Amino acid sequence: MYELMIKDSFAAAHNLRDYSGKCEHLHGHNYTVELHVRAEQLMPNGLAIDFTDLKKVLKKVMEVLDHKYLNEDVEYFKINNPSAENIAKFVFDELEPSIKPAKVFRVCVYESENAKACYYK
């Protein structure tokens, strides 16, 4: 089994609903996203998947989130609280159908360098 990881980032504002504390107020983060994919075998060229292809697909999802007020500008977060956990699931679900021949294994979202949440199936 092979595992590859790439990173990208985006900046966004949000506030947490049904939460009592500082994060219930509008604030922002410079998020870092790690995309982990796995492949059971390599293609004939010795790659599990081209890093360039992974970066392009992840960049498309980052563009949906970048410089947005997540609660209002992204449909998914009008219903789902824009926590780091839910952002990780959103990114995972958006990427899962697009990545072949490798498979999305895990998505981690850092809302600071010391705090991250991951989603995987």
Catalytic: which of 3, 27, 63, 67? 67
Catalytic: which of 14, 94, 108, 111? 111
Question: Is 23 an active-site residue?
Answer: yes
The span from the CA of 57 to the CA of 80, in Å, is 23
Under DSSP, is residue 78 helix (H, G, I), strand (E, B) or coil? helix
Catalytic: which of 23, 36, 85, 118? 23
Residue 89 tokens read as: 């699931």
Under DSSP, is residue 24 helix (H, G, I), strand (E, B) or coil? helix
Task: Indicate which residues carry an active-site annotation.
Answer: 23, 67, 111
